[in-house]
Structure 1
Amino acid sequence: MMTTAGWIALGITVFGAFSYATASILQAVAARRSSGTVETMRHPLYLLGILCDMLAWIGAIVALRELAVYVVESILAGSLAITVVAARIVLKSRLRGRDVTAVIVSVAALTVLAMSAGPQHDVVATTALRWSICAAALAMAVLGWSAARAAPAGVIAAMGGLCLGGAAMTGRALPRAPMDIVTDPLTAALLTFAVTGMLMYAHALGKGEVGPVTAIHWTAEVVAPSAVALLLLGDKVRTGWEVPAAAAVVVTIAAAVMLARAPASEAAAGEPLALECPLTPSIEAPPLPVLARAGIPVVAHRAGATGERIIWWGPPPIWRPPARPRPASQPAGRL
């Protein structure tokens, strides 16, 4: 049975799933408002998403001290179900019957995964294992830099998922003593995996559709690192729960793929965050793509709307009064 520390770690992981759901929406919107990876990384919404990512990531590293990699990564993949439900409630997006089914199936599969998790033993990393993980982190960073230049979005998303999964696996192998963590080479490998994975995911969102990119990203992040952790790090499944746990992982991935392609996920990624300004007068403006490319704050118009939706990030719009001709009877030197 799971210990008290294990249940606490499970709660931290669930909180991480909610944080990742929030971050995914913010980062996808930022990517759609930017023209490249560097600009995306500077976007305020992306930076806010990074903060949510960091909370989830730190929580996952803590949870990995008590839970197996396959449990933590599968629950984090359940953030897609949270994203779809939130999009339906907040953005009033369409939710298909298959999406409702996928959400329910995800919750059931994640419950099975939670029940299948038994107490985990501390990982004693050998010198060979340490340097193998460090070499893998460096290799993924080099390959990721090469792939970002020419590879399609799906390949970049898969490599980003492998990197973030590698960070989770590395976190499972870290020593417990704080001073040992600071001096251990695995810490450098963990940071390399994490930074590379985040950069590649942001780049993939900028090149491809958010649904397929997210589905590929989470599939790669869950499957390969979980298998490696079971084979090399000694992660254990609760006795008698091997088959249900394996089935739950497969179901979780399948549901994540379906939910990533859901209309609610697309709406959550593409809907601008805006404030309604009913008192703002209508203004004739050039087409929105022209304004966006020129770096001018965009005022989005909707047919039949009583007001305007003004995007609230970026430099504030500045109104300058038009030049007015002086009355003919007024001397030029007087105001």
Structure 2
Amino acid sequence: MLVLGLAAALVAAAANAGAAMLEAMATRRATHAAGVVTSPLYLTGLTLDILGWVLTVLALRYMPIVAVQAIVSGQVVITVVASHWVFDTPLRRLDLIAAGANVVGLGLLVGSARTEELPHVGVGGTVALLAVLVVLAVVGILTALRSKHATLIAFLSGLAFGGTAVAVRLVDLDGSVGEIAHTVVTDPVAYALLGYAALGLGLYTVALARGAVGPVVAVLAVTETLAPGLLGLLLLGDGIRDGWGIPFVAGLVLALGGVVVLARSPAQASLAGDDGVARPPLKRL
């Protein structure tokens, strides 16, 4: 099942990257704000975003959290490289090195991954999950209202998105379609999952509005990978294969280091339109 999880995570990263590209195209072609959200390109991108989230949920059922989150954050690699061909955004030699480091790091992470049976959360675990959500929501909303530091808000957003990963590992989605539907409607963990996702999305939106996209994406990627990943290794049945401790750490450093470099690259800033110049035109379709 590790192969299924790996495939789902890789396709999720590609779907999220494709969504970013399509939404960027819609922004460039629209003549007014309302034209963006009604554009077929934007709506297709939104559909890919949803698909990416569903595939991420699937991957988290079969792979360690830290590996899944690192792979999905690799969408930055795809976006930066692909935007060079589509929008003629700048692509440095350092970006290519970072992309290669990310690929090598992901290979080491996947190779060192070991999964056990999914944990069965008790009442105490459910209460803790909900309590953390409430505290994080209060802190996050107050920070979003009062703070101008985009990276701090991005950090809290990363914690919230990390909470969704933990909730996915804890919610019981086994059984028939009817049993799964019943769980989604009645299980508090499922509601916690939706709460963490909504909070993370809201805080991420605020962070992007307050600061440059590069630092925001970098902080988000590192936080939503390390925070739930560590919890997964300690409490949720994730593990590292015997003798693979050093490759695991090296893979994590390479994968996240590559994402951080690429998130702060001129290509990412140009694609987001926050580099102080007009967004680049379409180069080719």
TMscore range, shorter length: 0.7 to 0.9
Q: Is the 8 A contact 1:29 1:269 kept in 2?
A: no
User: Shift of the alpha carbon at 1:29?
Assistant: 8.4
Deviates more, 1:169-178 or 1:217-226: 169-178
- Determine if contact 1:31/1:205 at 8 Å carries over to the other structure: no
In the TM superposition, residue 118 of structure 1 has moved relative to its aligned partner by: 2.3
2:211 and 2:27 map into 1 onto residues whose CA distance is 10
Partner of 1:126: 122
- State the shift of 1:120 in Å: 2.8
**8 Å Cα contact 1:27-1:202 kept in structure 2:** no
Aligned match of 2:69 in 66, 73, 84?
73
User: What corresponds to 1:186 in structure 2?
Assistant: 189
Deviations 1:12-63 (A, max 9, x none): 1001111222344566789999xxxxx9x96867765443322111111111
The alignment's TM-score, normalised by the length of structure 2, stands at 0.85
Question: Is residue 109 of structure 1 aligned with residue 105 of structure 2?
Answer: yes
Q: Does 1:99 align with 2:95?
A: yes
Aligned counterpart for 1:264 among listed residues 252, 256, 267: 267
Separation in structure 2 between the aligned mates of residue 183 and residue 218 of structure 1, nearest angstrom: 31
Q: Name the TM-score, length of structure 1 as normaliser.
A: 0.73
Q: Closer, same or farther in 2 for the Cα pair 1:47/1:169, shift >3 Å?
A: farther
Distance in structure 2 (CA, Å) of the matches to 1:32 and 1:139: 39
Q: Is the 8 A contact 2:270 2:280 kept in 1?
A: no
Q: Does the CA contact (< 8 Å) of 1:71 and 1:117 recur in 2?
A: yes
Kindly indicate whether structure 1 or structure 2 has the higher relative contact order, using CA contacts under 8 Å at least 6 residues apart.
Answer: 2
Q: 2:211 is matched by which residue type in structure 1?
A: G
Cα RMSD (Å): 2.8
Alpha-carbon contact 2:12-2:55 (below 8 Å) kept: yes
User: Shift in Å at residue 119 of structure 1?
Assistant: 3.5
Amino acid at match of 1:243: I
What is the aligned partner in structure 1 of residue 7 from structure 2? 11
Larger Rg: 1
State whether residues 125 and 173 of structure 1, in contact with CA within 8 Å, keep that contact through their aligned partners in structure 2: yes
Distance 1:146 1:29 in 2: 34
CA distance in 1, matches of 2:42, 2:222: 23
Q: Residue 49 of structure 2 corresponds to which residue in structure 1?
A: 53
Q: How many residues are treated as equivalent by the alignment?
A: 269
For residues 120 and 230 of structure 1, do their structure 2 counterparts lie closer, same or farther at Cα, with a shift above 3 Å needed? same
Cα 1:261–1:43, aligned 2, differ >3 Å: closer, same or farther?
farther
| 1:89 equivalent in structure 2 | 85
Equivalent in the alignment of 2:214: 211
Separation (CA, whole Å) in 2 of partners of 1:86 and 1:48: 17
* Displacement after TM superposition at 1:264 (Å): 1.4
Query: Could you say which residue in structure 1 is the equivalent of 2:177?
Result: none
2:203 to 200, 216, 222: 200
> For the Cα contact (< 8 Å) 1:23–1:52, is it kept in 2?
yes
> Match for residue 276 of structure 2?
none
Question: Residue by residue, what CA displacement relative to the aligned partner does 1:140-170 show, whole Å, maximum 9, x if unpaired?
Answer: 2222211111221111111111111110111
CA contact 2:154–2:204 (8 Å) conserved in 1 = yes
Matching residue of 1:172: 169
The percent of aligned pairs where both chains have the same amino acid is: 35
* CA deviation string 1:244-269 (max 9, x = no partner): 11221122111111101111112222
Is the Cα–Cα contact under 8 Å of residues 15 and 56 in structure 1 kept in the other structure?
Answer: yes
Structure 2 CA distance for aligned equivalents of residues 31 and 60 of structure 1: 26
Using the TM superposition, name which of 23-32 and 85-94 deviates more: 23-32
The one-letter code matched in structure 1 to 2:161 is L
Q: Which has the higher helix share?
A: 2
Whole-angstrom distance in 1 between the partners of 2:248 and 2:6: 16
Q: Is the 8 A contact 2:158 2:220 kept in 1?
A: yes
Report deviation, 1:233.
1.2
Distance 1:249 1:184 in 2: 33
- Structure 2, unaligned stretches of length 5 or more? 175-179, 274-278
Q: Which residue identity does 2:158 align to in structure 1? A: G
The answer to whether the Cα contact below 8 Å between 2:120 and 2:170 also exists between their aligned partners in 1 is: yes
Asked if 2 retains the 8 angstrom alpha-carbon contact of 1:153 and 1:205, the reply is yes
Do structure 1's residue 160 and structure 2's residue 157 form an aligned pair? yes
Q: Which whole-Å CA distance do the structure 2 matches of 1:245 and 1:62 have between them?
A: 22
Structure 1 residue aligned with 2:133, among 111, 120, 137? Answer: 137
> Are the counterparts in 2 of residues 106 and 255 from structure 1 also a CA contact under 8 Å?
yes
> What secondary structure sits across from 2:238 in the alignment?
coil
In the alignment, structure 1 residue 20 sits paired with structure 2 residue 12: no
Q: Quote how far apart the aligned CAs of 1:138 are.
A: 2.0
Contact 1:30 1:43 in 2 (8 A): no
